[in-house]
């Protein structure tokens, strides 16, 4: 198979030891009987779903969470037989596929179950479909909103034991990473209102994403959906200090393609937004916004030989230019994310510069950038 981007030096380096360390530390913090499911949606937050799942399994994760059915099927095809939960809305017509592959699914409304029942009636059941009821306690995204709705759907599941296994019930907190926990506490109260009446809880009762498990672990239930923190990313950005050091797993590196002495008065890149005030050494790096490195990074720094070098001119689709302190030879290493000498650039630094979150930056790197795994 041809790896698109394999013939240039730009690469994402994924530190599997860092992944294992972050996940193992959280596993050790969990109460007895509490499972950790690693969230590997969006290609493992850009790190590579299959490789992250393997590292997570080695570190003690007992299952996985994804967003769409195809992500679950990717893990099954790769040989993972651990529990996999699809957190997003799926098509009821795909219920037979999920039964066949033993994939658990989030259910957000009664109509989905009714339609899935019809699909399953045409399928020779080898086992019931494992379902997790999604409760909307204040995220406003998907899920049942009232106790009456939950009562009806639980009754429906009890009436269809051959088709459905009531395996889990869950919610998602929208402000668990906020120092102000007022809205978080409102969601906790709503959660109790929707679930405390249940005479028997399902196998998995889970509310905790990374932020909840890091800073509100009393709410953990018996399963944690561990996402950003597993990749070494503080879910709050910089708003709350993490309870233990997180080790970032992703670095982005490239090399200088060329370094030229460009005369004063010349301009660099599209729109001529940077004009040299004096003769300067300008280096060209083979990475651009088509690779997921944001176009708006003009004026930010990369690291060359352990020194911060400013990006001058607009970031192009495939290349960017930097001001060098002096001439460097072709193929000199360039670090866009990671450590070089005493200097470090983090995903959070880039997110701050772009006025966004590190999740978006990590997930944005395209398949044109090969992932290289350091074990």
What is the pTM (predicted TM-score) of this model?
0.95
pLDDT confidence of residue 122: 86
Q: What is the structure's pLDDT at 43?
A: 98
pLDDT at 40: 98
pLDDT at 2: 65
> Are 362 and 48 in contact, with CB atoms under 8 Å apart?
no
79 and 54 Cβ atoms separated by less than 8 Å:
no
Show the CA angle centred on residue 270, arms to residues 268 and 272, nearest 5°: 50
Return the CATH number of the domain spanning residue range 16-231.
3.20.20.10
Instruction: Measure the N-to-C terminal CA separation of the chain; round to a whole number of Å.
Output: 23
Report the binding-site residues for substrate.
141, 317
Q: Which helix (H) or strand (E) holds 186?
A: helix 182-195
Q: What is the DSSP string of 57-90?
A: HHHT--EEEESSHHHHHHHHHTT--S-EEE-S--
- Give the angle 205-211-215 at the CA atoms, nearest 5°: 95
Kind and range of the H or E run holding 129: strand 129-134
Backbone φ, ψ for residue 115 (5° rounding): -70, -40
Numbered ranges of CATH 3.20.20.10 in the chain: 16-231
Token pair 């690291």 is at which residue?
303
Burial annotation 127-141 (CB, 10 A radius, 16+ → b, else e): ebbbbbbbbbbbeee
Which residues are known binding-site members? 141, 317
| Sites in the chain below the pLDDT cut of 70 | 1-2
Domain with CATH 2.40.37.10 in the chain: 250-345
pLDDT of residue 126: 86
User: What is the fold, at CATH topology level, of the domain defined by 250-345?
Assistant: Lyase, Ornithine Decarboxylase; Chain A, domain 1 (2.40.37)
C-alpha to C-alpha distance for 85 and 172, rounded to whole angstroms: 14
Task: Enumerate the active-site residues.
Answer: 41, 270
CA gap 142, 243 in Å, rounded: 30
């Amino acid at each position: 198979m041809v790896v698109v981007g394999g013939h240039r030096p730009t690469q994402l380096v994924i530190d599997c030891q860092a992944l294992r360390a972050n996940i193992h530390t959280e596993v050790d913090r969990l109460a007895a009987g509490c499972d950790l499911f690693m969230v590997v949606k969006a290609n493992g937050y850009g790190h590579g779903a299959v490789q992250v799942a393997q590292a997570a399994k080695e570190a003690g994760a007992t299952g996985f969470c994804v967003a769409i059915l195809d992500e679950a099927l990717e893990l099954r095809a790769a040989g993972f037989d651990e529990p996999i939960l699809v957190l997003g809305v799926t098509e009821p017509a795909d219920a037979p596929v999920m039964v066949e592959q033993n994939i658990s699914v989030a259910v957000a409304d009664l109509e989905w179950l009714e339609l899935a029942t019809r699909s399953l009636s045409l399928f020779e059941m080898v086992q019931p479909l494992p379902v997790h009821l999604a409760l909307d306690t204040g995220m406003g995204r998907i899920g049942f909103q009232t106790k009456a709705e939950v009562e009806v759907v639980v009754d429906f599941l009890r009436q269809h034991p051959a088709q459905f296994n009531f395996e889990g019930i869950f919610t998602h907190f929208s402000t668990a990473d906020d120092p102000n926990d007022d809205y978080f506490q409102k969601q906790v109260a709503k959660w109790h209102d929707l679930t405390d009446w249940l005479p028997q809880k399902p196998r998995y009762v889970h509310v905790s994403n990374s932020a909840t498990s890091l800073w509100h672990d009393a709410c953990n239930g018996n399963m944690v959906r561990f996402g950003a923190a597993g990749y070494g990313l503080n879910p709050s950005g910089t708003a709350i200090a993490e309870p233990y050091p997180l080790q970032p797993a992703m670095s982005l590196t490239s090399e200088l393609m060329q370094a030229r002495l460009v005369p004063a008065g010349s301009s660099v890149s599209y729109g001529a937004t940077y004009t040299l005030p004096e003769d300067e050494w300008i280096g060209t790096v083979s990475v651009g916004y088509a690779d997921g490195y944001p176009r708006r990074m003009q004026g930010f720094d990369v690291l060359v030989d352990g020194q911060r070098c400013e990006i001058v001119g607009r970031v192009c689709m495939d290349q960017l230019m930097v001001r060098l302190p002096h001439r460097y030879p072709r193929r000199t290493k360039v670090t866009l994310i990671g450590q070089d000498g005493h200097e470090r650039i983090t995903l959070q630094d880039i997110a701050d510069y772009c006025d966004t979150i590190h999740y978006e930056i990590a997930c944005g790197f395209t398949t044109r950038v090969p992932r290289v795994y350091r074990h």
